[in-house]
Amino acid sequence: MIMADSLISQLPSVSAAGRQEAEKIMERVEQGRGCLLKTDEFVMPQMKSGLAETEPVGEWCNRLLYGDNLLLMEALLNGDPETSLPPLRGKISLIYIDPPFASRSNYRTCCTLKGRDGSFTFEQQTYSDTWQGGMAGYLQMLYPRLYLMRELLSEQGSLIVHLDWHAVHYVKVLLDDIFGSENFRNEIAWCYGGGGAAKRTYPKKHDLLLWYTKSDNWTFNRQFRPYTQGTLERGLTAVKGDKYVLRKEGAGLDDWWAGREVQKILSPTAHENLKFNTQKPEGLLKRIIRGHSCPGDLVADFFCGTGTTGAVAEKLGRRWIMADASRLALIIAYKRLLQQGCRPFIHQSIAGKVTQGENNSRVAICELVLKQLLVQNCSADWDEILLELGGLTYSTYDSLPLSGEIKEKVRELALRDPPALLEYWSVDPDYDGRTFRSRWQCCRERNGRMDTRARIVVPRVTGARRICIKAVDVFGNESTVCETINR
């Protein structure tokens, strides 16, 4: 364990090494040698009528990015000509991050599988918050990422870093070094209840949000909270004199946030609860996004977890970019966006790179079974595609992140009821062999089941139609089937 005085003595070298790494990245970008993005899926949510959504032309598309965010930010600084994304240096209005807290814990997500004969729940690890070198290693990881975030911010932009007591004071030192202490605006305490009560200390019931700006000219939209009942009964004049009156908007927000509007997700049965134990409530992100951006602005989150930032940004009329290195987290975010009725977005990763810890065999261990495929005339100009999945077959169960009794239960379920292991599936009815354009999607519901049949109405094509179906299981394994229909 690193003692505090030893860590303090390491901070100059942590800062120097982090800055050097970030400057090398910027040098590559400026020389046109930066990382490139590859498009894994163009997601166009289907319309309620069953018609496939058409691809937007010349419009901004939100982005869900998978992989190491250091490489992803390098790619965003570089731009992506293939999808008409310009270099984003100085283009992002607000970056909110909820990074690991240096808590030395492993974080997990719960999954409940329901077959024909009952259900069972198991956990999967989403990420480990333990760092080689302890706190110094954690800070070494974070420094170049914070540096690149500053490069991505617009001149009126803000960065809000969400942490707790473990590392917040050390990270503030890094932020002062990167942004300049003069650009520190507020330390906001997010207060919440619930959980156990410590017997020998005060219960730790708040996180801290560090707000920095790119310059001395920043976006800020003042927000208000309701007056307390006591203030409403007493009024302000008794204290401040006749020239002060109660505002209809309420009292201006202070730098401590509490109450129902931003309450932590406490109930395991809450509609918002996605069974991901670091998930933040939408009310908190609504306050942050409303306060530090305007409609149409670009908002980013490079440790996005379950996708709360993008989900809220879209509801508030902002554009968004989200990234995470956990495939399980990205699956939750993907489903969440679809289920709230999102606009088209692009799912991308780094070209030629595999995220550390990624299982290279994830595509190979399962195979998608197509039970039925039928294309028939719907009208003079439209075709109707009818699909039914048979589920997934597994070549091996050894690669699944399970052991013991749970592994045997999953094996039995996969044999008896294969669709029960599906997390979501999607269809590209006109696959070009290069970019999967998902125009129809179906996700597993909270009851653990999903529809394995699809009816898709698409414009008629002359000649052959190549249809591609992609399915992802609850472990993140992906499988595709492509069929060519000659007309």
Statement: residue 356 has pLDDT above 50? no
Residue 85 lies in a domain: yes
Residues 140, 84 share a domain? yes
Residues 202, 89 share a domain? yes
Question: Token digits for 446?
Answer: 């909270």
Closest CA to 129 of 111, 98, 105, 157: 105
Residues 69, 205 share a domain? yes
CA atoms of 79 and 418, how far apart (whole Å): 41
Residues 346, 423 share a domain? no
Over pLDDT 90: what percentage of the chain? 64
Residues 396, 263 share a domain? no
Average pLDDT score over residue span 413-442: 93
Residues 195, 140 share a domain? yes
Number of continuous H segments (helices) and E segments (strands) in the chain: 10, 22
Stretch (H or E) spanning 309: helix 308-315
Residues 182, 70 share a domain? yes
Residues 266, 176 share a domain? yes
Of the ranges 3-12, 396-405, 464-473, the best mean pLDDT one = 464-473
Of the residues 326, 350, 374, which one is the last residue of a structural domain?
350
| β strands within 47-197, DSSP E | 62-66, 92-97, 106-115, 118-128, 153-163, 184-191
CA atoms of 356 and 325, how far apart (whole Å): 8
Give me the pLDDT at residue 231, please.
Answer: 77
**Which one-letter amino acid corresponds to residue 338?**
L
Residue 355 lies in a domain: no
Q: How many CA atoms lie within 13 A of 353 on its CB side?
A: 22
pLDDT tens digit sequence for 278-291: 889 999 999 999 99
Residues 437, 290 share a domain? no
Residues 272, 143 share a domain? yes
Residue 228 lies in a domain: no
Question: Could you tell me the CATH number of the domain that includes residue 291?
Answer: 3.40.50.150
Residues 371, 335 share a domain? no
Question: Could you tell me the CATH number of the domain that includes residue 445?
Answer: 2.60.40.10
Q: What angle do CA 424, 428, 431 make, to 5 degrees?
A: 140
Residue 118 lies in a domain: yes
Give me the pLDDT at residue 57, please.
Answer: 58
Residue 358 lies in a domain: no
Statement: residue 58 has pLDDT above 80? no
**Structurally, how many domains does the chain consist of?**
2
Give me the pLDDT at residue 5, please.
Answer: 56
Residue 248 lies in a domain: no
Residue 334 lies in a domain: yes
Give me the pLDDT at residue 47, please.
Answer: 58
Of the residues 350, 374, 405, which one is the last residue of a structural domain?
350
Residues 141, 194 share a domain? yes
Q: Which residues contact 325 (CB under 8 A, 6 or more apart)?
A: 66, 67, 68, 69, 127, 355, 356
Boundaries of domain holding 469? 366-485
